[in-house]
Amino acid sequence: MLRTCNRAPFFPMNPFVVLILIILDIYWWVVIAMVIMSWLLAFNVVNIHNPFVRQVNFVLHRLTEPLLRPIRRFMPDLGGIDLSPVILFIGIIFVRYLVVYYLGGVRV
């Protein structure tokens, strides 16, 4: 008896679509690093006076603030809880699905 493979067929994707998805994945991890860095600074685990920590915080802040600032402007004030990264994660997931749905198909 022959076994059949139940794998989905391979559809080649446009290299530009793959590049967009990789950039979105990298930005996902940058936002996670920014969230972790903000927790470490808030709980005084790392010292902002350390030059390396200050530089990493500066880079993460410069990379994430252009997208987080408009989200924070429209969200209600929840005290010390910042849910704007969660909204940004939902937005990144939505953009990934849009890119795959509209641009990820096979072009013949």
Break the chain into its structural domains and give their ranges: 31-103
Per-residue confidence (pLDDT) for residue 79, from 0 to 100: 83
Amino acid letter, residue 76: P
pTM summary value: 0.82
d(CA 94, CA 13): 19
Specify the residue for token string 């530009």: 16
Residue 108: pLDDT band with limits 50, 70, 90: very low
d(CA 64, CA 38): 12
66: helix, strand or coil? helix
Average pLDDT over every residue of 24-28: 97
DSSP conformation class of 46: S
